[in-house]
C-alpha cells in the first residue's frame, strides 16, 4: 500500500521568492516519485520524476525535487517564482513494474503575488 | 505527436441517466489508465488496461461503472445509472513504460 501527503492545500508566494511544496509518501517498496502540474483548463503535465539514481532531480520550468529516503520526502522547489507558476501541483507515487497505478496527494494550489 | 485526448470535455446529466466518456491514448501506448477526482479530494485510480485486457480494476467504485478497450486502442468509461456522487473530473492517462501522460479530463456533473 502506498499513500502521499502534501502539506498545505494553498501556498501564496511573491514573484521572485522561493517556491517550496512539501510531499511525504509511504511505500512498502522503493517508490517511483512524480510531480505533476495542472494549469487552469489543462490536463496534468509531468514536471519531474525520480526512479533510481541521483536523488536530486531537475524538471521543466526551473523546478527540482530531492528524494530523501530517510525522511520519506520528495519536496518540490523553485528558487524564484514567476507569475506563470500559478497552478495546482500534485505529488504522486508509483511502484512499477509490479504496480503501475499512481497514488496522488490532495494537491497544492500555488498563487503568485506581483 | 498528438497527446491523450478525452471527449467530451464537459458533461451535465441528471441522476439516473447514462454517460459514456471516451479516451484516445497516445498511439502505441499499451497502458491506459482511468482516474477520477471528486471535488475537494485527491485524484484516485480507477483501472488500468494493458492493450485490451483489464490489468487492475481495483479502484472501480461499483458495478455502475463499466470500462472497455476494444481492440486495444481507445477506451470508454460508462456510468449507468449515474448518481450525484459520481460528479467529478475523470482523467485518462496512457504510457509506454512508467511515465504516464494525462489527458485534459472530462468534467462530469450529475444533477
Q: What is the pLDDT of residue B16?
A: 97
Tell me the C-alpha distance between B98 and B82, whole Å: 32
Q: Which residue of A has its CA nearest to B40?
A: A106
Q: Average pLDDT for consecutive 10-residue bins of chain B (111 residues)?
A: 90 97 95 93 95 94 94 95 96 91 96 96
Q: What are φ and ψ of residue B34, in 5° steps?
A: -120, 135
For range A25-48, the mean pLDDT: 90
Q: What is the pLDDT of residue B28?
A: 92
Q: Would you give the distance in Å from CA B63 to the centre of its chain?
A: 15
Q: Which residue of B has its CA nearest to A108?
A: B42
CB pairs under 8 A between A and B: 57
User: Which of A46, A90, A97 lies nearest to residue B99, judging by beta carbons?
Assistant: A46
B98 and A90 within 8 Å at the Cβ level: the answer is: no
Q: What is the pLDDT of residue B1?
A: 64
Residues of A in contact with B48 (CB under 8 A): 100-101
Lowest pLDDT segment from A46-50, A69-73, A99-103, B2-6: A99-103
All three cell numbers of B62, joined, read: 461499483
Q: Which residue of B has its CA nearest to A41?
A: B104
All three cell numbers of B79, joined, read: 456510468
The closest alpha carbon to A44, from B52, B97, B99, belongs to B99
| DSSP classification of residue B25 | -
- pLDDT band (50, 70, 90) for residue A107: very high
DSSP-derived pairing of the beta strands A108-113 and A87-95: antiparallel
A102 and B103 within 8 Å at the Cβ level: the answer is: no
Q: Model confidence over A63-94: pLDDT tens digits?
A: 999 999 999 999 999 999 999 999 999 999 99
Instruction: Tell whether the model's pLDDT for residue A98 goes beyond 90.
Output: no
A41 and B101 within 8 Å at the Cβ level: the answer is: no
Q: Would you give the distance in Å from CA B70 to the centre of its chain?
A: 14
Question: What residue has cell string 458533461?
Answer: B11
Cα A29 to Cα A2, A6, A94, A113, distances in angstroms: 9, 20, 10, 40
Q: Model confidence over A8-26: pLDDT tens digits?
A: 999 999 999 999 999 999 9
Q: What is the pLDDT of residue B39?
A: 86
**Under a CB-based contact definition with an 8 Å cutoff, are residues B95 and A100 in contact?**
yes
For range A41-64, the mean pLDDT: 93
A90 and B43 within 8 Å at the Cβ level: the answer is: yes
**Under a CB-based contact definition with an 8 Å cutoff, are residues A88 and A6 in contact?**
no
Q: Model confidence over B32-43: pLDDT tens digits?
A: 999 999 987 899
Question: What residue has cell string 487492475?
Answer: B56
Amino acid at each position: 500500500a502506498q499513500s502521499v501527503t502534501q502539506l498545505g492545500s494553498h501556498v501564496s508566494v511573491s514573484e521572485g521568492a522561493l517556491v517550496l511544496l512539501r510531499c511525504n509518501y509511504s511505500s512498502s517498496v522503493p517508490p517511483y516519485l512524480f510531480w505533476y502540474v495542472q494549469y487552469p483548463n489543462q490536463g496534468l503535465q509531468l514536471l519531474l520524476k525520480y526512479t533510481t539514481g541521483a536523488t536530486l532531480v531537475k524538471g521543466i520550468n526551473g523546478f527540482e525535487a530531492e528524494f530523501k529516503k530517510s525522511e520519506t520526502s520528495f519536496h518540490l522547489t523553485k528558487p524564484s517564482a514567476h507569475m506563470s507558476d500559478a497552478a495546482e501541483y500534485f505529488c504522486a507515487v508509483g511502484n512499477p513494474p509490479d504496480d503501475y497505478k499512481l497514488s496522488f496527494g490532495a494537491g497544492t494550489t500555488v498563487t503568485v503575488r506581483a | 505527436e498528438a497527446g491523450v485526448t478525452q471527449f467530451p470535455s464537459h458533461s451535465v446529466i441528471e441522476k439516473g441517466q447514462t454517460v459514456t466518456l471516451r479516451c484516445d491514448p497516445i498511439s502505441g501506448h499499451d497502458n491506459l489508465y482511468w482516474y477520477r477526482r471528486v471535488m475537494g479530494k485527491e485524484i484516485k485510480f480507477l483501472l488500468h488496461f494493458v492493450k485490451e485486457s483489464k490489468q487492475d480494476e481495483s479502484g472501480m467504485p461499483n458495478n455502475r461503472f463499466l470500462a472497455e478497450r476494444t481492440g486495444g486502442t481507445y477506451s470508454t468509461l460508462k456510468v449507468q445509472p449515474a448518481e450525484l456522487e459520481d460528479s467529478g473530473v475523470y482523467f485518462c492517462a496512457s504510457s509506454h513504460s512508467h511515465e504516464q501522460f494525462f489527458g485534459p479530463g472530462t468534467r462530469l456533473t450529475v444533477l
